[in-house]
Amino acid sequence: MDKKMLFVIATLVLLGGAYASYLFWQYNHPKPEIGQATKAPPPPPAAPPPVVASQANETLPPPAPPPLPLLAKSDSFVLDALAYLVDNKNLMKLFHTEQVIHNMVATIDSLPQQRVPANIMPFDQVAGHFATAGAEDSLTISPRNAARYIPYVKIAEAVDSRKLVELYVRLYPLFQQAYEDLGYPGQNFNDQLTETLDDLLDTPNVKEPVKLVQPKYFYQYADPDIEALSIGQKIMIRLGSKNAKLVKNKLLEIKQEIALHEQDLKAGKAP
């Protein structure tokens, strides 16, 4: 379960990093003209002449953004963007390098359900082992377990939610294509993302320490009502109440920003 929640947190960082990198590339690396060899960037242009009165009301259109990469070729863009923002080699070592957006979409689709397939995870497991406390008949989640997630929660907190969602809107055709390829032709991925956000935000507050049982190899929640929750909600509980509250705050910010773009996203493509 640990790696699945890391994915939810890392997704925030990933898109935020893609946004930062997108702006960096857009304004610092113009695409060379066809037939020309790539050259060093020209020196900055001279300052424009003063605007005369007849030009004062004229408004030039903003430059067109560069085209999106193909979905099949988008991995390096996303991973380079993450590295550009985070600048953390240890964190980058966690990420796999293939089908990043596809795995992101598949995970978001699965979190409100009871199981997330392990083969869609785009990163390795969180460092350390799941920490428990108590004997077999009084087993609980150890308070020490929450500390494993703190670095990732802090990264998530630092992401600008507005810029994150702006990038999501910009990349939306890739998300939509990946969602349809997953087996949902004609359905809108943003509806699924909203459902997943709502499910995570609806995670109940659970009294700690949370009791566990271990009937075989894997731990389960002793309370059958908790064990019956979606995999996303059970992961949120495993984060610990303090971490879960911080993650919920970030997810709520993202949901509110997405609502501002609802009409654009209903069309199934970026504006």
In three-state secondary structure terms, 133 is strand
Q: Nearest Cα to 102, choosing from 211, 11, 220?
A: 11
DSSP character for 99? -
pTM of the model: 0.77
Residue with structure tokens 């032709």? Answer: 185
| Two structure tokens written together for 260 | 């501002």
Q: Do 41 and 30 contact (CB within 8 A), yes or no?
A: yes
Measure Cα distances from 96 to 1, 16, 218, 235 in Å.
17, 18, 25, 21
The values of phi and psi at residue 22, to 5°, are -60, -45
Within a 10 A sphere around the Cβ of 167, how many other Cβ atoms?
22
The values of phi and psi at residue 145, to 5°, are -65, -35
Could you tell me whether strands 140-141 and 132-133 are parallel, antiparallel, or unpaired per DSSP bridges? Answer: antiparallel
What share of residues in the chain are helix, strand, coil (percent, to 5)?
55, 5, 40
Within a 10 A sphere around the Cβ of 77, how many other Cβ atoms?
19
| Two structure tokens written together for 256 | 């509110």
- What are the structural domain ranges in the chain? 2-28+68-266
Q: Nearest Cα to 109, choosing from 193, 235, 181?
A: 193
| Two structure tokens written together for 151 | 């670095």
* pLDDT per residue as tens, the chain (271 positions): 555 555 565 565 555 545 444 454 444 444 444 444 445 555 555 555 665 555 545 677 767 767 888 999 998 877 776 666 565 565 566 666 788 888 888 888 988 987 766 555 545 566 678 899 998 889 999 999 999 888 778 777 777 788 778 878 888 999 999 999 999 999 999 999 999 999 999 999 999 999 999 988 888 999 999 999 998 899 899 999 999 999 999 999 999 999 999 887 877 555 5
**DSSP bridge pairs for 140:** 133, 211
